[in-house]
Structure 1
């Protein structure tokens, strides 16, 4: 069974991300083609990146890094629920991503964003980051407007059609997650392709 993490990408007090993530999760668990679990960066509680070795080396000194690596490695795909802060993602989300490398590789990702402009600029940054990590990000995304999809900018009230958007996004994500899982199962394809060039 494909395992998907719905990652809450904000740790700010009063954040909207938790309600958005729970909404996505509630819709996702109705499906029968994957397992979905919320991963809350606030509960993970990572410090600022404090590993001496680059994450690509896979040498993790601290217990919190090893625990985070185990969590991320256990999933086949990710739905990043992200706010937009200053045209980008939150520092907490970038920090959490930067702690690891191989655990992200050859997985699939989708994005649900929110903000005054729907959070689309944060997603554009996330797509660049995912590309560097070898994560296949799907085209369909859900962008929530603080004005149109939230009451008083704080209570989630998704506009009509948003559920269909989540369904389309998850359809793509689960399909890509299955393809990437098969790719990972094929073994050391990356080293082989590099050697052939």
Structure 2
């Protein structure tokens, strides 16, 4: 049975280009035999700045947006975060979405497709990894960094060099190894 992979678009700003990059990556993930991939857009959950009256460790959610986000994260065996870099760091929407939950994240691996200017979003990923480890998420070393990503948008479609397609495949294969191993941790606890 394939592992459930959520490819999560992290930017929610109205002028974002993350969905274009996520569509490119999702097509590669769909073709990968280890995963049943699903494209998940943070914007669809419309999460306000954390507004739950109780701590998320209790899993006693008051709001429908939190319940929907909880069900989405809980259903996944692994994550790929498609993330930009804002001011040398992660988008606030990513930080907010992670902080909404606790248990749903635990013992699952994560990988990153980052994009930005010359750095390709790698500074954002470094900060995101720190936050995710506090939720017991295992960020894997393999990643896809897309520097100067806008130059690869052709008529509204993201078309990076073939090298990036290969990097995505390598990353997915390694993510699958971690996801299979970590699934055992979730079933034995």
TM bracket, shorter-chain basis: over 0.9
Is 1:148–1:159's contact at 8 Å kept on the other side of the alignment?
A: no
Tell me how far apart the structure 2 counterparts of residues 84 and 147 of structure 1 sit (CA, whole Å): 12
Spell out the pairing of 1:129-140 with structure 2 (5 A cutoff): 129-140=131-142
Summarize deviations over 1:170-196 as a string: whole Å, max 9, x none: 011111011110111112xxxxxxxxx
Give the gaps of 5 or more residues in structure 1.
Answer: 188-197
Summarize deviations over 1:111-150 as a string: whole Å, max 9, x none: 0000011000000011101110101111100000125753
1:122 to 120, 124, 138: 124
Is 1:4–1:36's contact at 8 Å kept on the other side of the alignment?
A: yes
> 1:151 Cα shift?
4.4
* TM-score computed with the length of structure 1 as normaliser: 0.89
Tell me how far apart the structure 1 counterparts of residues 181 and 85 of structure 2 sit (CA, whole Å): 30
Question: RMSD across aligned C-alpha pairs, in angstroms?
Answer: 1.6
Matched, 1:4 2:2: no
Instruction: Give the paired residue count.
Output: 186
Give the gaps of 5 or more residues in structure 2.
Answer: none
Tell me which residue corresponds to 1:75.
Answer: 76
Tell me how far apart the structure 1 counterparts of residues 114 and 53 of structure 2 sit (CA, whole Å): 32
Larger Rg: 1
